[in-house]
Structure 1
Amino acid sequence: MADPLLEIADDLYALPLADFTPARDALVKEHKADKALASAVKGLRKSSLPAWVVNLLVRRDPDQVDQVLAVGEALRDAQENLDATQLREFTKQRRQLTASVTTAARRLAREEGVKTTEAVGDQIEATLTAAMLEPDAAKAVRSGLLVTAIAATGLGDLDLSGAVALPEALGFSATARPVAAPDPTQRPQLHVVPDPDADVKARKAADQRLAEARAALGEAEKEHRSSRRAVEKLRAKTLQLQAEIDELRSRIAALDSEVEEVDDELGEAEAVQAEAEEAVDEATAAVDEARAARERLKG
């Protein structure tokens, strides 16, 4: 691997989520002689839980990820060729596959001691779906360097600027790290090495986690305010549309009543017209009879 930063990132994002920050800080100190590299390492962001689970899946089960991406490529080909039959089949296959792989990814996380909620599962599935719909999202997933979940519409409007740890991640493939089966004949050897700076490091790590949690809270509150404004706007629009519907229904009811009145008047007018036509016919017959009598007198 030629790029030392990518090599470092590949190792960092393969770690358990709780180990990321202390490991990153240790690497910053390790590479302090190279200020540019140390600064770049320091800028690596910790993954969100859904992104970490996807990164874990990419490293633990790359074959399954490759299958997801292959189906996505086939789906995009079907869309480009406007093959409706293939499109329906691949869309169905996509939904089944993403649901199945999401379950597998959550199981891997559970094996690592990390429980995931349904909400996290939804974000994992949305990320896998995005990878199937968008080629760049597929590259982002395959990199194993995701820091946030991804969502896409398939319309080419995906912004990945903040989704991966590094711009160079697109086109990079994470190193597969399958879990080795334990050797039942070997007993693990445990060594406890006391760390004189353990308390200081723990406090620094706690401060870092607190700062990150506060930053995440700030972002969540910002998103909440934005979503609340959107909800209020849509509720107001709903009330406006409902008022317009009520007004139209009232207008329709008035027109229905008017139609009934006009129908009644039409029936009466048609009856009068029929009587008038009958009177005209009788008068015409009388005229014809009088004319014939006059003609007979002449003769």
Structure 2
Amino acid sequence: MPAHEPTDLDAAVDALYTRPLDEFIAARDAVVRQTADDGDRVGAERIKRLPKPSVAAWVVNHVARDHPDEIAALADLGDELRAATADRDRGRIRALDHLRRERTEGLVRTVREAGEVGGRPVSAAVLDRLTETLTAAVMDPDAAAAVRAGRLSRALQHVGFGIVDEQGEEADLVALHPAGRESGEADAEADESASGGKAKTAAGKPEKGAGRRERPERRPDGDEPDSAAAELAEAERAVDETSAQVDRLEARRDDVRDRLRTADETIERGRNEVERLDRELERLTAERDTVRQALDEAREAADEARADLSAVEDELDDAVERSAEARRRRREARGR
């Protein structure tokens, strides 16, 4: 008997999908080791196969946990819409579809205005994936259950024939056995999933299209063939590696978009400043020309005044000399 309580798989999975995205792989591997130490081989295998969520799916999972009432309302709206469709009530269908768009756009707008989810900036592309996933939750009850569970590995899309993930592939909705099931039934179901049986949605229903997956042959001892296990392990590694690469590239893309937006804003501010300075330069140039013309006129006036002053001074000198001569003659006349 282990010295501690066995790992609660449902709680462990929920905890995985609430962690920061970059910590998912390390945290998942830690849960796998702990579950294996508890003696739950099947549970450890199922945890090991959980794929790292895409950025969009991680955002959807957090939105589902942060806004459970809005998500529940969308799911209920989907039930009403399907009932109206069954009744062929066109007026009700139109009204509900309008309400669907209104509620979906309202929740997406809330996320957009916040600018981040769980401390992670949200790009326009991720907001588009969020809109598509919320729409899928309205249109399909299994998708609604998966979104409400908050365990998506890929964002969802509703297309004419059902639900696909954000890459256009058949949706793979992540879930473990629901809590509270008898352990024997749960282990049997988990073993079926681990050996390639039908996948389950978060509501415990068979995933659409999952029945098309083929089971590998099993040996009498119940183990998978070595080649199949190796192929599965290689496929799991490829999924993790490509998912990590997608995350890195999405992060780089978002960073480049931020840089481009910053550069565009700087260009716009620079263009506005140049236009302002051009207007100011035009005004100052006109003012300079006006002042320069006034200066030229003042210089001409100064030259004229200087010439007039010289002429007046010459006349004054002559007048002074004549006045002195007149005084001299008067003195001489008085002395006779």
TM-score by length of structure 1 reads 0.54
> 1:214 and 1:52, CA in 2 relative to 1: closer, same or farther beyond 3 A?
closer
Query: 1:12: which partner in 2?
Result: 16
Instruction: Give distance in 1, aligned partners of 2:7 and 2:85.
Output: 36
Which of these two proteins has the greater Rg computed from alpha carbons?
2
Instruction: Give distance in 2, aligned partners of 1:53 and 1:163.
Output: 17
Query: 1:22: which partner in 2?
Result: 26
Are 2:97 and 1:91 equivalent residues in the alignment? yes
Q: Deviations over 1:274-293 (max 9, x none)?
A: xxxxxxxxxxxxxxxxxxxx
CA contact (8 A) 2:16 2:24 kept: yes
Are 2:216 and 1:211 equivalent residues in the alignment? no
Look up the SS of the partner of 1:158 in the other structure. Answer: strand
* Residues 219-234 of structure 1 aligned to structure 2 (within 5 Å): none
Query: 1:64: which partner in 2?
Result: 70
> 1:110 and 1:5, CA in 2 relative to 1: closer, same or farther beyond 3 A?
same
- Following TM superposition, by how much is the alpha carbon of 1:61 offset from its aligned partner in structure 2, in angstroms? 1.8
Amino acid corresponding to residue 158 of structure 1 in structure 2: I
CA contact (8 A) 1:53 1:106 kept: no
Q: Deviations over 1:82-116 (max 9, x none)?
A: 11111111111111111111233456671522112
- Following TM superposition, by how much is the alpha carbon of 1:78 offset from its aligned partner in structure 2, in angstroms? 1.6
Instruction: Give distance in 1, aligned partners of 2:240 and 2:61.
Output: 24
> 1:67 and 1:3, CA in 2 relative to 1: closer, same or farther beyond 3 A?
farther
Instruction: Give distance in 1, aligned partners of 2:36 and 2:7.
Output: 17
CA contact (8 A) 1:56 1:108 kept: no
> 1:136 and 1:3, CA in 2 relative to 1: closer, same or farther beyond 3 A?
farther
**Which residue of the other structure, out of 119, 126, 129, is the alignment partner of 1:123?**
129
Are 2:137 and 1:158 equivalent residues in the alignment? no
- Following TM superposition, by how much is the alpha carbon of 1:158 offset from its aligned partner in structure 2, in angstroms? 2.9
Query: 2:81: which partner in 1?
Result: 75
Instruction: Give distance in 2, aligned partners of 1:106 and 1:168.
Output: 32
Instruction: Give distance in 2, aligned partners of 1:210 and 1:93.
Output: 38
CA contact (8 A) 1:106 1:116 kept: yes
Q: Deviations over 1:124-181 (max 9, x none)?
A: 111110111111111111111111111113x553358643223444216xxxxxxxxx
Instruction: Give distance in 1, aligned partners of 2:60 and 2:31.
Output: 24
Instruction: Give distance in 1, aligned partners of 2:115 and 2:239.
Output: 20
Instruction: Give distance in 2, aligned partners of 1:124 and 1:83.
Output: 29
Instruction: Give distance in 2, aligned partners of 1:214 and 1:96.
Output: 34
Query: 2:271: which partner in 1?
Result: none
Amino acid corresponding to residue 139 of structure 2 in structure 1: L
Instruction: Give distance in 2, aligned partners of 1:79 and 1:215.
Output: 42
Instruction: Give distance in 2, aligned partners of 1:114 and 1:143.
Output: 21
- Following TM superposition, by how much is the alpha carbon of 1:65 offset from its aligned partner in structure 2, in angstroms? 0.9
Look up the SS of the partner of 1:31 in the other structure. Answer: helix
> 1:88 and 1:27, CA in 2 relative to 1: closer, same or farther beyond 3 A?
same
- Following TM superposition, by how much is the alpha carbon of 1:214 offset from its aligned partner in structure 2, in angstroms? 6.3
CA contact (8 A) 2:136 2:157 kept: yes
**Which blocks of at least 5 consecutive residues in structure 1 are unaligned?**
173-206, 221-299
CA contact (8 A) 1:53 1:109 kept: no
> 1:42 and 1:81, CA in 2 relative to 1: closer, same or farther beyond 3 A?
same
Look up the SS of the partner of 2:120 in the other structure. Answer: coil
Look up the SS of the partner of 1:13 in the other structure. Answer: helix
Instruction: Give distance in 1, aligned partners of 2:63 and 2:86.
Output: 29
TM-score by length of structure 2 reads 0.48
CA contact (8 A) 1:147 1:164 kept: yes
> 1:106 and 1:53, CA in 2 relative to 1: closer, same or farther beyond 3 A?
farther
* Residues 256-271 of structure 1 aligned to structure 2 (within 5 Å): none
Could you tell me the percent identity over the aligned residues? 30
